[in-house]
Structure 1
């Protein structure tokens, strides 16, 4: 029987988010494929430094230690060829990462393999690949490849999510952008008992909950947080939606338009997912932050609205 990964949390990750490949990528951008290939092959014995997602990946893989069957599978999806990818696998081995599966596509879009691998999450430095993975139904986020890999606070895995257009659909955010805060508050109060539709990260949160269920409640190695600019009275619909989904969130922060960054630092987030560029830019200076290019905030005509939202309103 073929091996399947149905029971594991499957995270697909690009080489540029796992390791610091900015020098070699600059060679590719400046000189092209052949000089890039020569650069990588000449340096295949040189170990790569950790990238922005490296600390999270290491923590996730530690969940497999001492277990007969792994809880987490991390898969490398890379635009490198198998030849130039040898340096990446040498670095994986050096750092002691339990990554054994990979797809090297030699310049072709690697997002095509998220579905065959059954990925619950795809992290990449390529925004185009992320957008295509989202369209294919996989939770996906773009991480800035130049960001510094920060030392984790401790061994607990802390993952934070924005609400609207990430965990939930963007239906409520559309009301806010089109009709303003008062209409948004009134609509959410009226629909408080109507669960929101799921967003692109609902399935990933459910997969995390399966991992949490493998441990006693008080000893779970994963802690999740909802960090949203919603405030009362728009909080009730969110709480009732999670209850209807039977999904556990360990912490829920309703910030009423306050900057999320200090709260993410206090939570000790290993990664944070948000759909709005302004939130991502601010938070990425403190924690690893993935942009989720989904929903009304990422539609071309949303530029003026995005600027208005980032001005401090109680945007969801």
Structure 2
């Protein structure tokens, strides 16, 4: 009997986003595939350390335990071959992670398999796979692989988003880039009653809203928008969310101030932004992913 993923939040994550595989990746890049394969087989029984996406996945899977029913499905989607995957499997068992499904593409682009599993979010350290996923209409982020040990509550998931070119299209941001702040502000105030178009992460926010509703008595999930917009240009954001019938728990209109400090206080399990200038500093304090999206890709 086949399984449907329609009633789950489905997260696909690469092995390098889930575990710390930076040393192994260095072997691959410097010495090639054969050396990488030999290294993984020699270290097959060595447990991998948690990677940047580990805490998010752990907390997501914990929802199933708290709800006493399956609401979240996590799938490891790796460019590894079957022959080099046993270390990943052993590590999953070590951490008692309820992950049974894996995609082992043997070096091929992972994005082609996202539709087969109905993936709502794809996280990877491979920019090409992430860009292809976004181009195909999937919410995806290129997570920064860091050795940082992040500290956040293990009883609640907190997910933060930038606004333009992440939750919403890049249409307004393009005005800012081409014509400056004054033109951007004028456009947003003039069009505050016109809902912004959906961006690459809009579908994920909708799925998270569904998950919040399914677990409202458990209080296991909070969402936030952390945007460089100010309060005046933020009115359009609020009205757009209202038009989408989605409630975001916390919103921060930063007016260009540094986002990392707010994200640390919020305790984000992950933060999505389309620009390195914001996402990279944020990755020092919370797991962060860049959304390599520009208008016209979707």
Q: TM-score, normalised by structure 2?
A: 0.96
Deviations 1:139-164 (A, max 9, x none): 11111223424132341100000000
Is contact 1:231–1:255 with CA below 8 Å preserved after alignment? yes
Aligned equivalents of 2:279, 2:205: Cα separation in 1: 19
C-alpha contact 1:54 1:149 (8 A) present in aligned 2: no
Whether the 8 Å contact between 2:158 and 2:222 is mirrored in structure 1 is yes
Cα deviation digits, residues 80-100 of structure 1 (max 9, x gap): 111110110100000011110
Quote the Cα distance in structure 2 between the aligned partners of 1:137 and 1:162: 18
The CA distance in 2 between the partners of 1:154 and 1:66, in whole Å, is 12
Alignment of 1:1-316 (within 5 A): 1-65=1-65, 67=67, 69-216=69-216, 219-295=218-294
Contact 1:55 1:151 in 2 (8 A): no
Instruction: String of CA shifts for 1:112-151, please: whole Å, max 9, x gaps.
Output: 1111111000000101110000001111111122342413
Structure 1 residues 211-242: Cα deviation after superposition (integer angstroms, max 9, x where no partner)? 1101236x420000000010131011110000
Q: Cα 1:278–1:147, aligned 2, differ >3 Å: closer, same or farther?
A: farther
Point out where structure 1 has 5 or more consecutive residues left out of the alignment: 299-316
Q: Distance in 2 between matches of 1:66 and 1:163?
A: 31
TM-score normalised to the size of structure 1? Answer: 0.91
Distance 2:67 2:228 in 1: 39
- Name the residue aligned to 1:303: none
| Change in CA separation of 1:229 and 1:67 when aligned onto 2, cut-off 3 Å | closer
Aligned residues: 296
Name the CA distance, whole Å, in 1 between partners of 2:80 and 2:216.
41
Aligned-partner Cα distance in 2 for 1:35–1:275: 34
SS of residue matched to 1:76: strand
Shift of 1:66: 5.5
Mapped contact 1:55–1:149 kept (Cα < 8 A):
no
Please report how far the alpha carbon of residue 247 of structure 1 lies from its aligned counterpart in structure 2 after TM superposition: 0.8
After superposition, the Cα gap between the structure-2 partners of 1:171 and 1:150, relative to the gap in structure 1 and judged at 3 Å, is same
Query: 2 CA distance for matches of 1:274 and 1:67?
Result: 30
Task: Tell me how far 1:67 sits from its aligned partner.
Answer: 4.9
Superposed CA RMSD in Å reads 1.4
